[in-house]
């Protein structure tokens, strides 16, 4: 029996995090940083598209994730791990911390869950924001909101120019990098707007 079929059977064709049950919108998700000693069935969960597209997103639908109130009690280790990770990613909402305070995990599952660093204090982490205050992440696309002269060249990046697949400066939250007319340049975040 294939891994996908076994995971779907275990989950009874419902998302193991939110309970969504439209089979065409469900996919097997391999939980990152899985220890090698875990059997293949214990490495994955069945997740709906709504859940999986928000796992690594910068912004999340808070109301959707209230489902973790139920799924955090699952006896399936990878479901517990993803519930724990998502609760940490939603810590800015008070209810998430309340659930984390109640949650119990076996020590080896807790070690697995914390392997991605979701529980680390990130208060000093840089947050890049565009002119409207929207959080920017690596790979986003932005548009210039004013003409910018590029230092060291005669080039002028025109207002309205789209810059795709930006990268972030990890030392200064006021700068991002991207290609304009095939040239890699540094942009100031206050002059861009996320697309």
Same domain, yes or no: 108 and 155? no
Domain with 174, as residue range(s), is 128-194
Same domain, yes or no: 52 and 76? yes
Residue 121: inside a domain: no
pLDDT 10s digits, 101-156: 999 999 999 999 998 887 765 545 678 899 998 888 888 899 999 998 888 888 88
Specify the pLDDT at position 120.
Answer: 66
Query: pTM for the full model?
Result: 0.62
Same domain, yes or no: 98 and 166? no
Q: How many domains does the chain have?
A: 2
Sites in the chain below the pLDDT cut of 50: 123
Specify the pLDDT at position 122.
Answer: 52
113 contact partners, CB below 8 Å, separation of at least 6 = 80, 81, 84, 85, 105
Specify the pLDDT at position 1.
Answer: 66
């Amino acid at each position: 029996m294939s891994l996908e079929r076994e995971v779907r059977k275990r989950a009874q064709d419902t998302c193991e995090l939110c309970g969504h049950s439209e089979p065409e919108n469900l996919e097997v998700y391999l939980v990152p940083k899985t220890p090698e000693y875990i059997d293949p069935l214990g490495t994955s969960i069945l997740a709906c598209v709504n859940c999986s597209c928000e796992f690594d997103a910068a912004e999340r639908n808070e109301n959707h994730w209230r489902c973790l109130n139920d799924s955090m009690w699952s006896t399936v280790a990878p479901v517990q791990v993803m519930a724990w990770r998502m609760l940490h990613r939603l810590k800015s909402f008070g209810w998430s911390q309340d659930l984390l305070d109640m949650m119990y995990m076996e020590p080896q599952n807790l070690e697995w869950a914390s392997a991605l660093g979701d529980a680390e204090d990130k208060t000093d982490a840089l947050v890049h924001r565009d002119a409207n205050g929207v959080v920017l992440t690596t790979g986003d696309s932005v548009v210039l909101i004013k003409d910018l002269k590029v230092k060291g060249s005669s080039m002028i990046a025109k207002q309205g120019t789209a810059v795709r697949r930006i990268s972030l400066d990890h030392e200064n939250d006021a700068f991002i990098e991207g290609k304009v007319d095939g040239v890699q340049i540094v942009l100031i975040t206050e002059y861009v707007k996320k697309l």
